[in-house]
Amino acid sequence: MRLAAEVRGAAKVTEGKDWTPYVEAALARAVDEVRGSGKGERNATLARAAFGLGQIVHLAPDLLTPARLEAELTAAAPREQGFGEREARYTVRRGVVKGQASPRTPADDRPAPRGTRTQGPPRTPATPRPEAPPNWPPVDEVLSLWDAAYPVDSLNLPHPWDAAPAAWLEGRGIGADSVAGHGLARAMPPALSVRCPKWAHFGRDAWPKRGYSLLIPCYTASGELRSVRARYTAPGPLPDGCPKAAAPKGYELRGLVLANPAALALLRGETSTAAMVIITEGEPDWLTWATTRPDLAVLGVVAGAWVAELAARIPDGSKVVLRTHADAAGDAYAAKVAASFTGRKVQLARLKHEESNG
């Protein structure tokens, strides 16, 4: 692949050299540039600085770690209305990942030797266009709804008829006790409808009132609980026109995944060793893997959610197994996830899964 060739070429140029002074000076310049950016240009400046530093991470990966770049550039970014710490962190992560996909060396910074014939003026690298931060529901409302829900265990629910989520799980061979014990999902009884914010509605009714009673948390690339999905668990067939799962109305899921405790340890940087990672499609398959193999890092993806920052959290040397459905959508999920590991020392495998009626 072209990217792999670029990385190998960069390695040949930089092999055996100590680039510490160069990268430290580059980081210092980038921080100064971000700190001095004016109103209205801060996001673009931050994206440009993150992209440039991402391009030289390969020179000193132990020094220019993603965590360090995110911390120092975010701290340097001036705050303004509509551009706070969350937006700054997202811009840095995106910029670093994109920069790592276009590695460069100090030789690229030097002008051509005197007398060298060139094809026109030197090219100026294009400034990457900053991508808008994802539009997620208000975090306080997400956490409030999650805290108000019950463990998926009928013994802890206030009424017997609120046990539909546990019955739905058990009917698919997924242990409700295991789901509750690992914090993978919670139950929303109909009485909780009055606590649901406007985005937690399907049509005019709150999720639990419409039968969407299994609440599943969605996490960012840094392991922060930032949104939720609700799975339909009412007895009987799914009503016409109703999806199997409901997402927050008016908001997006880009950049969010389902994650079991082992996967959260990876996302949060609590472990940096190579791991076996299972990436599944949809809630039932994710819950199945997360409960039967809690020793593995199990991530779940939904349409349009996977981003490069998620791949960047998985250490080199890991084995990533893509467990997606054997259909066009599953193929698209697998292709997008696989592309995000281009140039990485990650072993990829694909296991197609025949979708059930769950």
156: left (phi over 0), alpha (psi -120 to 50) or beta: alpha
pLDDT > 70: what percent of the chain?
82
pLDDT of 186 higher than 90: yes
Report whether pLDDT(57) > 60: yes
State the pLDDT at residue 335. 87
Q: Pick the more confident residue, 131 or 333.
A: 333
Give the mean model confidence (pLDDT) for residues 334-356: 81
Three-state SS string over the chain comes to: CHHHHHHHHHHHHHCCCCCHHHHHHHHHHHHHHHHCCCCCCHHHHHHHHHHHHHHCHHHCCCCCCHHHHHHHHHHHCCCECCECHHHHHHHHHHHHHHHHCCCCCHHHHCCCCCCCCCCCCCCCCCCCCCCCCCCCCCHHHHHHHHHHCEECCHHHCCCHHHHHHHHHHHHCCCCHHHHHHCCCCEECCHHHHHHCCCCCEECCEEHHHHCEEEEEEEECCCCCEEEEEEEECCCCCCCCCCCCEECCCCCCCCCCEEECHHHHHHHCCCCCCCCEEEEEECHHHHHHHHHHCCCCEEEEECCCCCCHHHHHCCCCCCEEEEEEECCHHHHHHHHHHHHCCCCCCCEEEEEEECCCCC
Tally Cβ neighbours within 10 Å of residue 246: 21
Q: Give the dihedral of Cα atoms 72, 76, 79, 85; nearest 10 deg.
A: 0
How large is the average pLDDT for residues 56-77? 86
Nearest alpha carbon to residue 82 among 33, 49, 36, 43: 43
pLDDT of residue 20: 82
| Interatomic CA distance for residues 236 and 240, integer angstroms | 12
Full set of structural domains in the chain with CATH: 2-108 (no CATH), 134-253 (3.90.980), 257-358 (3.40.1360.10)
Task: Return the sign of the alpha-carbon dihedral for residues 155, 160, 165, 171.
Answer: positive
Report phi then psi at 213, rounded to 5.
-110, -5
- Cβ-proximal residues to 148 (8 Å cutoff; 6+ apart), any chain: 192, 195
67: confidence class by pLDDT, cuts 50, 70, 90: confident
Please report the pLDDT score of residue 97 as a whole number: 87
**Looking at residue 181, what is its pLDDT?**
93
What's the mean pLDDT in 193-211? 92
Q: How far is Cα 346 from Cα 274, in angstroms, rounded to an integer?
A: 9
Question: Which has more pLDDT, 134 or 39?
Answer: 134
pTM reported for the whole predicted model? 0.66
Cα 351 to Cα 347: distance, rounded to the nearest angstrom = 13
Band of pLDDT at residue 66, cut at 50, 70 and 90? confident
Taking only the tens place, the pLDDT of each residue in 84-137 is: 787 788 888 888 888 888 888 776 555 545 554 444 444 444 445 555 778 999
